[in-house]
Amino acid sequence: MEHAISPEVEALLMKRFAGHKACPHGVPLRGGFAQLRKEGTVLLSELQLHDSAETTLLTLNSRSTLATLAAPLKINYHEPPRRTASGAFSRIALPISQTILSSGLTGHAPTIGTGATAHSRGDPVTTSNDNAFNRRDFIGGALAGVAINSLPIPAFAAADDPDLQSVLSQIPKLHDENVKRLQEWIALPSIAAENRNFPQGPEYMAQLARDAGFSNVEIISTSGKPGVFGLLDSGTPTWVGIYFMYDVKQFDPSEWSSPPLEARLVDKEGLGKTCVGRGAVNQKGPETAFLGALHAFKAAGKKVPVNLVLVCEGEEEIGSPHFPEVVHQPKVAAALKKCMGVFIPEAGQDANGGVEISLGAKGVVELELVSTGERWGRGPKHDVHSSLEAQVDSPTWHLVQALNTLIEPDGHTPAVAGFFDKAKPLTPAQIKMIQDVSAVRSEATVKQQLGVEHWVQDTNWLDSLILLESKPTINIEGLVAGYTGPGGKTVLPHRAVAKIDMRLVPDMTAAGTLALLKDHLAKHGFGDIEVNMTGGYDPTQTSPDSKLIQAQIATYRKLGLNPVLWPRSAGSWPGYIFTSEPLNLPAGHFGLGHGTGAHAPNEYYLIDSTNPKVSGIDGAVGSFVQYLYALA
């Protein structure tokens, strides 16, 4: 089936690539561009597009899946001629289906196209800006708004599925709306630790859900901050759970390069345009992208291919102490029991475009250790002059001594008796996952991002990753005692507080680990120190064979990436509530896109990528559309 391009596009192509040579039969040259004129059409074998302003490089070639263009266009794309059994070349025109491509959707140079040919698989046309095709030249004027053509993609709803194509075609049109939605959400921070923006936060979340197409949206009261629950019933056989959090971490504006609630768009070298603000990547950016996918379905007038159950909380950043009250509501639990699994949206790409699939997450216990003169029975019951240190005990030193008993002399290894007893060792398969990742993940890049020069105890890169995945930890988040303002204030404080988190691996439990800590303090003479758990939960683990994870693997591969499996996230999320009794559901993370700085100053989420290997927000939205089809 022939699809001739317009004369205007043909003229631009011929003008731009006039200097390129082709073999007599139009077969693509390695590293070059082959073109063949026949009956007034141009045969495209490989074509690389480059936006000189955004430096977004797009490659169209024969190994493709989906690619992206912010402003779509229509081209005539055929498989290169093949040699027949007789040795003659046969010109084959394959069926063409419209596919909307949004910038940065794939994790490598984004591609579209036909079945691969041996001589051209993986060969970009060029990496030179001089030889790259200027996208704006190609799509200027009357060409804007027409869809690019590609071939069907198996293992999904096929790429020629008109519903899928209609949904994908909405993504570039909704770009500004999605960015605005993210910026406005960042401007309303819900911070459970500060009791900030409640009930505004859950009310805002509920409205976001309604706007995206959820019905029966309810704000679920708990003993703490409310949750949000909603259903999106498309009438399909498959139900999928979606976990959201609407709260964010605290912040100190003085530490930021731009106001943390302004959500300023900032260009970052090597990345592109980013949105900088508290909650940008954790979790409002990825969640906005997922909502953007649902808005794309609405704009296209198409049904979401699966039914969705939304469960959302406002206390994730303090350890989700009341989230079980949301999930255990009869109506919520009944809806979740119908689900094949639960996932949390994420910006899953690193700065080089790679993506990992985490098969679980560490658990966590967040707590405060409080030393006071009142409970100790020694030291002052209120702050006194520091000169009295000579004759009065110090509750602050008492706390420091207690903290020192929690770790071995190496300053790192937990010394609490029984702490490692239930820690499940990594399996050979999990160690192999870590070895595979260590070979492709850049140690130098990670060190630069973290601002470190050495791993603990000067371990090598691989061993540090094994420790990250296998080792439970005791960490001091903060220490507060006495005066901390400008200058000095000579006081002997009557109260000192240490904020602690303990990260847990399977088969440790939050309750069991807390009990071990209390017993340890009592046995070492620090039974007077208050232990106040503020939140926490058990670790999670999901089988790579579950449909939830297999759909992730298939989606990433169809989008041109090669995902690697990762035993578990070293961070924590309350997925245990889904993976444990009584639900026993697979749970995981999914999503293209990039961002970093969670809990830190200058947190950001990538909006428009200048790296062809990394997705911006449009690519993230598109990945969620594709994942929903894969789950169906």
- Per-residue pLDDT, averaged over 268-281, amounts to 97
In a domain, 381, yes or no: yes
- Among 485, 518, 534, the domain-final residue is 534
| Token output for 123 | 């060969």
Count of all residues that appear for the chain in the document: 632
Pair 553, 461 in one domain: no
Q: Is the pLDDT of residue 184 over 50?
A: yes
Is 165 inside any structural domain? no
Same domain for 345 and 436: no
4 within domain boundaries: yes
Specify whether 400 is located in the same domain as 544.
Answer: no
Is residue 339 a part of any domain in this protein? Answer: yes
On whether both 432 and 313 belong to a single domain, the answer is: no
Between CA 19 and CA 328 the distance in angstroms is 67
pLDDT higher than 50, residue 190: yes
Mean pLDDT, rounded, for 312-334: 97
Residues 142 and 181 in one domain: no
The pLDDT confidence band at residue 161, using thresholds 50, 70 and 90, is confident
Strand ranges (E), 186-290: 215-220, 227-232, 239-245, 264-268, 272-276
Q: Count CB neighbours of 456 within 10 A.
A: 15
- Looking at every residue in the chain, the average pLDDT score rounds to 81
∠ CA 409-410-414 to the nearest 5 degrees?
80
Residue 152 binned pLDDT confidence (cut-offs 50, 70, 90): very low
**Nearest residue to 50 (alpha-carbon basis) of 23, 17, 18:** 17
Confidence label for 440 from pLDDT (cuts 50, 70 and 90)? confident
Same domain, 209 and 298: yes
Rounded to whole angstroms, the Cα distance separating 402 from 193 reads 25
Over residues 436-444, the mean pLDDT reads 92
In a domain, 120, yes or no: yes
Pairwise CA distance, residues 246 & 282, whole Å = 10
Helix 285-300 with 175-186: angle, nearest 10 deg: 140
- The residue from 534, 555, 578 where one domain ends is 534
pLDDT greater than 90 at residue 233: yes
Q: In this model, does residue 457 exceed pLDDT 80?
A: yes
Residues 234/236/238/240 CA torsion (nearest 10 deg): 0
Residue 632 in tokens: 């169906």
Same domain, 349 and 380: no
Q: Are residues 466 and 480 in the same domain?
A: no
* Domain assignment of residue 311, yes or no: yes
Of the three residues 503, 519, 534, the one that is the final residue of a domain is 534
399 Cβ neighbours under 8 A, 6+ residues apart: 369, 371, 481, 496, 497, 498, 529
CATH number at residue 623: 3.40.630.10
Residue type, 510: A
Instruction: For residue range 470-505, list pLDDT tens digits in order.
Output: 999 999 999 999 999 999 999 999 999 999 999 999
- Residue-wise pLDDT tens digits, 369-417: 999 999 999 999 999 999 999 999 999 999 999 999 999 999 999 999 9
The residues, any chain, with a CB within 8 Å of residue 496's CB and separated by 6 or more, are 370, 371, 372, 395, 396, 398, 399, 400, 479, 480, 481, 482
- Pick from 242, 228, 26: nearest CA to 120: 26
Q: Which residue range is the domain that position 589 belongs to? A: 173-361+539-631
Beta bridge partners of 411: none
For strands 564-566 and 239-245, give the pairing: unpaired
- Ramachandran angles phi, psi of 473, nearest 5°: -135, 160
- The per-residue pLDDT for range 78-111, each reduced to its tens digit, is 333 333 333 333 332 322 222 222 333 333 333 3
158 within domain boundaries: no
Residues 141 and 123 in one domain: yes
- Indicate if 507 and 619 belong to the same structural domain: no
Measured CA to CA, the distance from residue 251 to residue 272 in angstroms comes to 24
Give the residue among 141, 127, 137, 142 at the shortest CA–CA distance from 15: 137
Q: 219: which residues sit within 8 A by CB, 6+ positions away? A: 199, 202, 203, 206, 226, 227, 228
pLDDT category of residue 160 using cuts at 50, 70 and 90: low
Q: CATH number of the domain at 516, please.
A: 3.30.70.360
Range among 39-53, 118-132, 139-153, 197-211 rated most confident: 197-211
- Asked if 343 and 197 sit in the same domain, the reply is yes
Residue 310 pLDDT > 80, yes or no?
Answer: yes
Give the model confidence (pLDDT) of 336-361 as tens digits.
999 999 999 999 999 989 999 999 99
157 is a domain residue: no
Q: What is the mean pLDDT of residues 510-529?
A: 98
Do 238 and 348 reside in the same domain of the chain? yes
Q: What is the pLDDT of residues 199-227, one digit of tens each?
A: 999 999 999 999 999 999 999 999 999 99
User: Residue 449 — very low, low, confident or very high, per pLDDT cuts 50/70/90?
Assistant: confident
- How many Cβ atoms sit within 10 Å of the Cβ of residue 448? 12
Number of separate domains in the chain: 4
